[in-house]
Amino acid sequence: MNRRSNRAIVVNQIGYPLHSTKQAVFTKDGTFHVVNESSGIVVFTGRTSSLNNDPASGHMVALGDFSEVNEIGRFYIQHEIENVTSAPFSIQPHPYTALHHGLLKAFYYFRCGQELTPELAGPWHHSACHLAEGFVYDNPEQRLDCSGGWHDAGDYGKYIVPGAKAVADLLLAYELYPSAFRRPVPIPETDGFLPDVLHECRWELDWMFKMQHPSGGVFHKLTTHQFPPLTTLPEHDLEPLIFSPISSTATGCFAAIMAKAARIYQPFDAKYAHKCIQASVLAWEWLMNNPGVLAFHNPPDIGTGDYSDQQDIDDRYWAACELYATTHNPVYQDALLTMSKEAFHKFGLCWSNIGGYGSIAYLLSDITQTDCELYDQLLSGLRNEADYMLWKSSTDGYGISLLKDEYIWGSNKVVMNNAMLLLIAYRFFEDKRYEAAALNHVHYLSGRNSLDLSYITGFGDHSVQHPHYRPSIADDTTDPVPGLVSGGPNAGLHDEISKKSLQGLPPAQCFIDHEDSYATNEVAIYWNSPALFVLSHWEQQK
């Protein structure tokens, strides 16, 4: 455990865009100086706001604005009180290039079924893993190829629903910000033709094809019976792999992401795009033939993550919206119009409430092809959601859209999902407040938080060092795999080390950088993916 004494000034430890609003958060008010790190010259002197109570963190906090500093370089902030300084940070036109690259490269490190070579993976290389065929639950005689895809999180399971969310974020980032992905990662498939982000998504999509039953239904997940010990390297995890039963949520998400992929890959590989849409339509037909919710629950002898969900209307709605956006077939519009009248959240971006991707797909469609009434309802709903995020951000001492009771398992995913929604709203309404609020969420993730901690491994002056991530725990490399987003504060204290160490702390401080803390410090593909989307906005070449 390493709960060190935090600095009294917290900043985005990566940096600030050149002509953006630039603020630091102080736990001591007064006069402060912005100092050029290399020359020691004070480039700006300002005074903080008065201190105010921030209930989520339990701190009295003040803001110090240094937006007038539009000088490229490396800086730190010094309080008038001697020896009180911040982490160093950059001011650049594109300060997040390396971070954006690292967040995307992380998906290569999550790859299953492929050797990660020293040339591409550096000290975090390892042998190919999980190459054996898996067996279908309740039919152990049926064995199927199941190699490929991404490990979901700190374990080695592979799951359709969160995998679809992760791919959706990456494809949407490419769709809206293609210029952010001009730089090769590189990865084994780098060819100078297909952008590497699409190569990386294809690694997951190709595994997803293997999860579709000939009926069109999709197996919910592929895991061993139980999680392996933390000290297990991926290639040493040799327990039998099991295709868990089909679920309607997995099938709906599969139909949706394959339809979206068909649109995105069409200009590059028409044959592959056709394969995607065929798989999507087959999954949709299964959904039509199985109108009831086929919810997934772990069989009694399986103890891995279940991603269970008691409703599938959001998954089906997403599928219909993506299929309509790709095919313009009125059958899918009729279906989504019917479903849109049901009561479910139309802007959820979480695996358990994923309908927001459907609404976004519909809003991004050719407006001449959409139903005017539904389009206007969704546009109004998007503005209302974004305005609610603004209000929540205005009540938080660190400028993020989490209320005191929203520091849950994977709270950093919620932070980045909210920032995604703000940027989608900015695209439609061009309200600079939405963009500025989204940037505050980036600042929080990168160190401007009550723990003075960058929640992204390998990035920042003080970043997460001990994530709940088996490859980094089991290898002989001191530094963790870089570019992984940690789950973040979780007031639920769901693991033993959290219960032992964090009792009584305010919600925003319920985090421990310890490998045993799966409830606060695990990593996951669908925590990286919204962060990559958000950073793509500032990495695009304007």
Q: What is the pLDDT of residues 497-516, one digit of tens each?
A: 999 999 999 999 999 999 99
pLDDT for 14 equals 98
Cβ–Cβ < 8 Å for 53, 73: no
- The stretch 221-246 carries a mean pLDDT of 97
Give the E-state strand segments of 27-88 in sequence order: 31-36, 42-47, 52-54, 59-65, 73-79
Q: What is the dihedral of CA 95, 457, 307, 425, to 10 degrees?
A: -10
CB within 8 Å of 478: residues ≥ 6 apart: none
pLDDT for 541 equals 78
Q: Please provide residue 90's backbone torsions phi and psi, each rounded to the nearest 5 degrees.
A: -105, 155
Report DSSP state, residue 510.
-
CB within 8 Å of 208: residues ≥ 6 apart: 149, 160, 163, 164, 218, 254, 257, 258
Report helix, strand and coil shares of the chain as percent, to nearest 5.
40, 15, 45
pLDDT for 6 equals 67
Distance CA 153, CA 409 (A): 13
Look at residue 4 and tell me whether its pLDDT is greater than 60.
Answer: no
Report DSSP state, residue 110.
T
Look at residue 526 and tell me whether its pLDDT is greater than 50.
Answer: yes
pLDDT for 174 equals 98
Distance CA 474, CA 466 (A): 12
Distance CA 236, CA 79 (A): 51
pLDDT for 522 equals 98
Q: Per residue in 311-332, pLDDT tens?
A: 999 999 999 999 999 999 999 9
pLDDT for 5 equals 54
Query: Nearest-5° angle of CA 370, CA 172, CA 444?
Result: 125
pLDDT for 542 equals 61
- Structure-token pair, residue 312: 């599938």
Rounded to the nearest angstrom, the gap between the alpha carbon of residue 10 and the centroid of all alpha carbons in its chain is 23
Cβ–Cβ < 8 Å for 403, 418: no
Rounded to the nearest angstrom, the gap between the alpha carbon of residue 469 and the centroid of all alpha carbons in its chain is 16
Q: Across the chain, what does the average pLDDT equal?
A: 96
* Exposure b/e, 270-287, CB count within 10 A at least 16 = b: eebbebbbebbbbbbebb
Name the one residue in this structure whose structure tokens are 């160093």. Answer: 88
Name the one residue in this structure whose structure tokens are 């520091």. Answer: 407
Distance CA 277, CA 258 (A): 6
Q: Per residue in 189-217, pLDDT tens?
A: 999 999 999 999 999 999 999 999 999 99
Percent of the chain with pLDDT over 90: 96
Among the listed residues 153, 360, 165, 175, the one whose alpha carbon sits nearest the alpha carbon of residue 254: 165
Cβ–Cβ < 8 Å for 317, 355: yes
> How many CB atoms are closer than 10 A to CB 6?
16
Strands 52-54 and 31-36: unpaired
Percent of the chain with pLDDT over 70: 99
Strands 89-92 and 15-17: parallel
Report DSSP state, residue 421.
H
- Structure-token pair, residue 102: 């690292």
Distance CA 319, CA 324 (A): 8
Distance CA 266, CA 325 (A): 13
* Burial class, 412, CB count within 10 angstroms (exposed 0-12 / middle 13-18 / buried 19+): buried
Look at residue 1 and tell me whether its pLDDT is greater than 50.
Answer: no
Distance CA 482, CA 100 (A): 12
Q: Per residue in 151-188, pLDDT tens?
A: 999 999 999 999 999 999 999 999 999 999 999 999 99
- The stretch 142-152 carries a mean pLDDT of 97
CB within 8 Å of 337: residues ≥ 6 apart: 371, 374
Distance between terminal CA atoms of the chain? Answer: 43
Look at residue 3 and tell me whether its pLDDT is greater than 50.
Answer: no
Residue-level length of the chain: 542
Residues taking part in catalysis: 513, 522
Look at residue 367 and tell me whether its pLDDT is greater than 90.
Answer: no
- The stretch 133-150 carries a mean pLDDT of 95
Q: Please provide residue 494's backbone torsions phi and psi, each rounded to the nearest 5 degrees.
A: -85, -5
- For the chain, which domains are there? 97-370 (1.50.10.10)
